[in-house]
Amino acid sequence: MKAHFRNLYLNKTTGITKFGYALIYLIMIGIFIVFVINQGIGINTTLFLLIGVTVVAYTLTYVRTQHPLAYYSLIIKLFPNRTSAYHERGEVYRRRKEYRRALTDYDCAIQRRPGYAGMYVDRARIYYELGEYQQCLKDYEQAHLLDALDPRPYAERGAVYYQLKEYRLVIQDCNAALALDPGYVWAYCYRSLAYNRLGEYELALHDGTHAIELDNILAYAYACRGQAYLRLSDLQQALADFIKAWELDSTRLYYGWLIEWSKMCLPHPDPAIAERLEALAARDPTHHLAYVCRAVAHWLHENFEAALRELQQAPPPEPNDEAFSFWRGLICVSLERDDEALAALEQVVHLPPVLLTPLRRIQHQRPDFYTQEVMPLLAR
């Protein structure tokens, strides 16, 4: 969910408009200087001054857009009490995934402007990325106190509760967000995921569909509805939604991964899946899912030791990520590491049944283990 949660930053004001106004003001000042001193110093000098002002403004614009970290660091050095500079530099660090540095800058911004609710929302998102959910909840609560009419803290706090597996609280917060803004699409998305976890699949499907109706180019909405279809064992509709999500946003490995896992569950899986998983992992080699993709590709090629090594090197999975445990279990079965396999498979009984289809390979590889251990586990 974190990868999708980061999409919220796309709606964040970057400050470019404000800088555009500053550029206009600089040019206007230059024109004013032209009119004031034109008669005294001649046209060539006047033109030179105007060009100079324009060049300075353009240079600042270029540095700010191409080297924002250096730009905001300079602004902070020149104007140490400028709140917006800390805020914007924190956003730069966030985009670079330097979350601790981003957090430090947001702390500085809040110290200088403690009454701005949006600042707490942004800092809460950093805590979310760091997995510090209790701090995240505190910041959302403070944002509520400062601006009770903003739906964002409710919906985004719902995303935190999702990670904490408090699914009823997710629904409660999303309901509160929608009471403030019935068109707040992210609240429908998070509520859809929570309904899925609670086994209320038709409600999950309804929320996912409504999210798409509100924003038919939001990739995350299609991914949410696709997961509802998985729970309803409608693999073809789920796959269509995941493909649409991937078409809309091919930067999110999660969408591509869902496509390939779903295709592995078709009656006649595509033999090129392993190669596509390797290509998917190559897009962002250090991402958690990249390790899973490489591991599954090795498993499909029956390179079981290499598959396990990939998972052993992977960053820790998210709290609701049963995919990691599922594939670790399958790989350990193939390696006849049965105790590890059972411990991993114990954690995946709540996956959509259709996604368990790759277990059929175990049925053929190790029929006795499948009958004695896996079937009773799945029957729970």
Instruction: Quote the CA–CA distance of 40 and 33 in Å, as a whole number.
Output: 11
How far is the CA of 209 from the CAs of 151, 218, 228, 232, 310, in angstroms? 20, 12, 10, 14, 36
> What is the fold, at CATH topology level, of the domain defined by 250-380?
1.25.40
Instruction: Quote the CA–CA distance of 54 and 62 in Å, as a whole number.
Output: 12
Return the higher-pLDDT residue of 281 and 20.
281
Using 50, 70 and 90 to split pLDDT, how confident is the model at 14?
Answer: very low
* H/E stretch holding 154: helix 152-163
* H/E stretch holding 308: helix 304-313
- pLDDT for position 288: 93
- CB distance 322 to 347 below 8 Å: yes
pLDDT at residue 320 is higher than 90: no
pLDDT digit string, tens, across residues 87-108? 999 999 999 999 999 999 999 9
pLDDT at residue 303 is higher than 60: yes
pLDDT at residue 16 is higher than 60: no
pLDDT at residue 321 is higher than 90: no
pLDDT digit string, tens, across residues 63-91? 677 789 988 998 899 999 999 999 999 99
pTM: 0.84
Q: Which two tokens stand for residue 293?
A: 């993709």
pLDDT digit string, tens, across residues 21-54? 455 555 555 555 555 555 555 556 666 666 666 6
Return the higher-pLDDT residue of 39 and 317.
317
Average pLDDT over the chain reads 88
Across 25-34, 253-262, 309-318, the highest mean pLDDT is recorded for 253-262
pLDDT digit string, tens, across residues 184-198? 999 999 999 999 999
**Domain ranges, ordered by start, for the chain:** 250-380
* CA 243 distance to own-chain centroid: 18
Instruction: Quote the CA–CA distance of 256 and 243 in Å, as a whole number.
Output: 8
